[in-house]
Structure 1
Amino acid sequence: MFDFTTNFNRENTQSAKWDMLKQVYSLDDATDILPMWVADMDFAIAPVILESIQKRMEHPIFGYSFPSEEVYQVIMNWLNDRHQLAIEKESVLLRHGVIPALTEVIDAFTDEGDTILTFTPIYPPLTSIPHKLGRVVETCLLIENENSFEIDFEEFEKSLQQNVKAFILCNPHNPAGKVWSKEDLTKIAALCQANNVLVFSDEIHSDLIFKPNTHISLLSVAEDPANIITFFAPTKTFNIAGIQAAVMIVSDSEKRKVLNDRAMKRGEMGLNIFSLVALQAAYEKGAPWLEELLVTLSSNMDYVIEQLSNVAGIKVSKPDATYLMWIDYRGTGLSEKEIMHLLLTKGKVALDPGTKYGEAGNGFLRINVACPPSLLEDGIARFIKSLT
């Protein structure tokens, strides 16, 4: 049994989630605000990861490091065991995070003025990063379906035909926690290939899946994986976002050469020793902790649904994946500005406003439920208080 019940005080630890509320929400005083927004967990990390880091710290020299054969092997084993992906070592590139890696591939394989397509609503950096790099960002609106989303493939195909250079997929989808089906992914891969569109597939939440759902990587259904670059990471799964590490799968040797050459030009030195140790421990020994985590998250989500089911104007359902829930408050008649004011001033709880994920998110809130049950109960009580 692992500890998913202890409330750890994270204040004054340079935690973005807990210590940046004033800046993020433009507050004069955030002392009493409970943060349930940014996607990191309020659980202690898996003991095997902590123990591995502590053991490495016993050696008093922290010189230049490199990924060992064991590191590559545990990555390949994890992807094969959890996602049925048989990956060659040469295809694995290690980076400091999914967003830095995504930035790198956008910069490498598209030019300023090129069009990049993605779905909406969606995790903000998947649109803001291309925009900041001078790319034209186009979005394809997802179809609402009982507080989840479906793909409008007719609209998607039309969008791909508008001189699109690359498509960014979020799989599972953030913010709605949607696990795309094999049929959906096969269509996406085929349409992108037919239109000569590169695909950058963000699969960072792929290990946070609730049964009977199963994550399917886009790589596993594509006829030609050469134009697909996929991103995985242990950071969301094992709550080690502050120890930056990500895995980029690049099947095409020419694209790997481009990326490796560009990394050398930037003086990119690779992962630090603690990132390597944490990544190896997570993928080699972290599965039992993850299985218990998923049980806790599922129970937390059931609690949220039970408590909010009788709140007038509120709809929420259980996602397929992630530890994030997408709350529909349109039935309250409140504007986003009004509900955010009530949450922060009356309820003293901070959630993400839906328009952070694009205008398609208007009328929704994203809540992070990855916390001890007692903290969740407090947060949901605050949410209900805001609206009563």
Structure 2
Amino acid sequence: MKNFIDRVHLPNGQIEKLNKLEKLYLIAKDLNKKEPVQFAIFGKPSAPVYQPIIDAQKTYWQQLDNSLPIVYGELQGEDEYRARMAKALTRQYQTPVEKDDVVFTSGGRIAIQAASYLIRSLCANKYVVTTNLFYPDHTGISYSSDDQHNLLLIDVEKEMSSVTSDNLRATLDGIDKDNIGAFVFCDPNNPMGNIVGKEEWLKIIPILEQYENSIVLLDEAYAEMVFDELHQSLFSLASEQLRERIILLRSGTKGFSASGERMAILVSRNQSFINKIVEYHASNLVHSPKSAQHA
């Protein structure tokens, strides 16, 4: 496209360069003026919003006291709601999740970027292993730059299938274990929509256990959108040793057809991981999404 501007002027006069995803979105919007464009760059839910979400929103706004300020919340999320989420996750995954393992954040993209910040901080100059058909944010792209992880891609494109123990092992063959910083698994996969399944996870787990210093980001933003019993989570199946290195990502809104409300959950038993995620919040968000007014 000729004369496309790749920089934006902010209200404070600062000029910021757009990243690749932002450029693509703006180009598509411009093309849409001339002929219809199918926007697949961001999730566009089509089902009706879940009624309890509407009721909760009404309750929130109705309970606001105009004699009190709306203050910043906790960086990790309010204790009461993290405790509720930990209880729900413990029930779903059949493995203990504690309140302090949970971080609320502003949507899946921010959750991925917080995890990417963690990976860049702890695993600089090391490979991040993921599939060669991946959600763009899994490359570690931030809002402010086009920097990305050093990707080591699992070849699944020809079969259009999910990651398997065989193609994972083939990808890692010949690479020094110390050069692998992290694994990123999206299950159900975005954009392919497939799942790994219990049988294959049980074959993959022994491989991951060999990489004792690597981080495992498990993106399960679409976990509610599997309508059979085939989806089994790595978080449930993993050994205790492996589970300590997993960062679990869940959407708080996608399954309710309310993704525009921007809420996600990160879960980790590793306190150093949680500290880095909260550090990202402190620098970028000020606080996590709030579910109630706290004076």
Question: So what's the TM-score if we normalise by structure 2?
Answer: 0.73
CA-CA distance at 1:150 after TM superposition:
4.9
- 1:191-340 to structure 2, matched below 5 A, reads 191-196=207-212, 197-224=214-241, 225-264=243-282, 266=283, 268-273=285-290, 276=291
Gap change, CA 1:210 and 1:228, over 3 Å in 2: same
Larger Rg: 1
Cα distance in 2 between the residues matched to 1:124 and 1:258: 22
CA-CA distance at 1:60 after TM superposition:
4.6
CA-CA distance at 1:115 after TM superposition:
1.8
Deviations 1:137-174 (A, max 9, x none): 221112655x6445214313327646221111111112
Does the alignment pair 1:138 with 2:155? no
Gap change, CA 1:30 and 1:181, over 3 Å in 2: same
Cα distance in 2 between the residues matched to 1:212 and 1:84: 16
Gap change, CA 1:268 and 1:128, over 3 Å in 2: closer
Runs of 5+ consecutive residues of structure 2 not aligned to the other structure: 1-23
Pick aligned residue for 1:74 from 61, 84, 97? 84
Cα distance in 2 between the residues matched to 1:267 and 1:33: 32
Pick aligned residue for 1:118 from 106, 109, 130? 130
Deviations 1:14-67 (A, max 9, x none): xxxxxx987326526257556566422123311111111112112254602454
Q: Look up the equivalent residue of 2:221 and give its one-letter code.
A: I
Pick aligned residue for 2:173 from 114, 137, 158? 158
Cα distance in 1 between the residues matched to 2:194 and 2:70: 42
CA-CA distance at 1:192 after TM superposition:
2.5
Matching residue of 1:97: 107
Deviations 1:108-138 (A, max 9, x none): 3435433211112122221252893343122
Q: Look up the equivalent residue of 1:72 and give its one-letter code.
A: R
CA-CA distance at 1:255 after TM superposition:
2.6
Matching residue of 2:61: 57
CA-CA distance at 1:206 after TM superposition:
1.1
Gap change, CA 1:270 and 1:27, over 3 Å in 2: same
CA-CA distance at 1:190 after TM superposition:
2.8
Does the alignment pair 1:39 with 2:43? yes
Question: So what's the TM-score if we normalise by structure 1?
Answer: 0.57
Q: Look up the equivalent residue of 2:133 and give its one-letter code.
A: P
Local SS of the residue matching 2:31: coil
Cα distance in 2 between the residues matched to 1:102 and 1:183: 27
Q: Conserved in 1, the CA contact under 8 Å of 2:139 and 2:148?
A: no
CA-CA distance at 1:75 after TM superposition:
1.4
Gap change, CA 1:108 and 1:21, over 3 Å in 2: closer
Gap change, CA 1:28 and 1:233, over 3 Å in 2: closer
Matching residue of 1:189: 205
Gap change, CA 1:184 and 1:223, over 3 Å in 2: farther
Cα distance in 2 between the residues matched to 1:150 and 1:267: 33
**RMSD of Structure 2 on Structure 1 (CA):** 3.1
Q: Look up the equivalent residue of 2:106 and give its one-letter code.
A: H
CA-CA distance at 1:103 after TM superposition:
2.0
Gap change, CA 1:164 and 1:103, over 3 Å in 2: same
Local SS of the residue matching 2:191: coil
Cα distance in 2 between the residues matched to 1:173 and 1:184: 15
Q: Conserved in 1, the CA contact under 8 Å of 2:205 and 2:238?
A: yes
Cα distance in 2 between the residues matched to 1:101 and 1:42: 23
Matching residue of 2:117: 107
Runs of 5+ consecutive residues of structure 1 not aligned to the other structure: 1-19, 278-388
CA-CA distance at 1:248 after TM superposition:
0.7
Gap change, CA 1:70 and 1:34, over 3 Å in 2: same
Moved more, 68-77 or 202-211: 68-77
